[in-house]
Amino acid sequence: MVDAEPGTQPEDPSQFLTTVWELAGSDEGKARLFAYAQLLVAEGELRGLIGPRELPRLWSRHLVNCLVVNTLIGEGLSVADVGSGAGLPGVVIAATRPDLRVTLIEPMERRAQWLEEVVSELGLANARVLNARAEDLANEAPHDVVTARAVARLDKLLPWTAPLAKRGGRVLALKGEKAAAEIDSARKMFRKYRVTGAQLHELTSPLDGELTRVVELPIAR
């Protein structure tokens, strides 16, 4: 049992508005998301994937925060999630978007093993796990979309993510409040990595109104 922070009650997803579940796409997507949340609650802290103070707000800070990214990804695309870790946002995307082909890239063996178990447990036929560093995947087929969350500053992240995106593809980097400053710091690298510009999306959570900031970096055709 996870103890909530003083004055904080664990979130009850059964009380969430319908607009939250619309992002999950279907009843099957909702069920897989519930199952994933249960796995994180049961093993996330034990495996060092998520802190105990984060668990009472698992849905708002992590799951719905990632779920809104679905609105930026078109149908039938291939997605590579760099530094998947606990599976955020890669597992959330794969669980709720069966139309996508999702590759979860994680360099740490124990975390990659966790991801393999999650993919198996949730029956994610559209997902696979690569235990590798993104920069070592020169022979990996390029993807339509490359995602990353809480991996590194944008100027450090760009060399790991942009080469995995196909021509005309995009990098979607989930960022914090300093997203705009990170864009400015990384601009000098745009030409080298074929980035044609940057757009900062501020996506509002239907759960609590908090913003998910996503930096979109289009790759030249």
Q: Where are the domains of the chain?
A: 13-218
Asked if CATH classification 3.40.50.150 holds for the domain at 13-218, the reply, yes or no, is: yes
Classified as helix, coil or strand, 217 is strand
The answer to whether the beta carbons of residues 206 and 19 sit under 8 Å apart is: yes
- Structure tokens given for 29: 């997507």
- Please give the pLDDT value at position 8: 56
The answer to whether the beta carbons of residues 179 and 213 sit under 8 Å apart is: yes
- Please give the pLDDT value at position 52: 87
What distance in Å separates the CA atoms of residue 149 and residue 203, rounded to the nearest whole number? 15
Question: Which residues are CB-contacts of 56 (< 8 A; sequence separation ≥ 6)?
Answer: 2, 4, 5, 8, 9, 10, 11
Give me the residues paired with residue 148 across strands: 82, 173
pTM beyond cutoff 0.85:
yes
Task: Look up residue 135 and give its DSSP letter.
Answer: G
Helices within the chain (DSSP H only): 18-22, 27-43, 58, 64-67, 90-96, 109-122, 154-161, 179-186
Positions of the chain with pLDDT lower than 50, given as ranges: 1-7
Classified as helix, coil or strand, 71 is helix
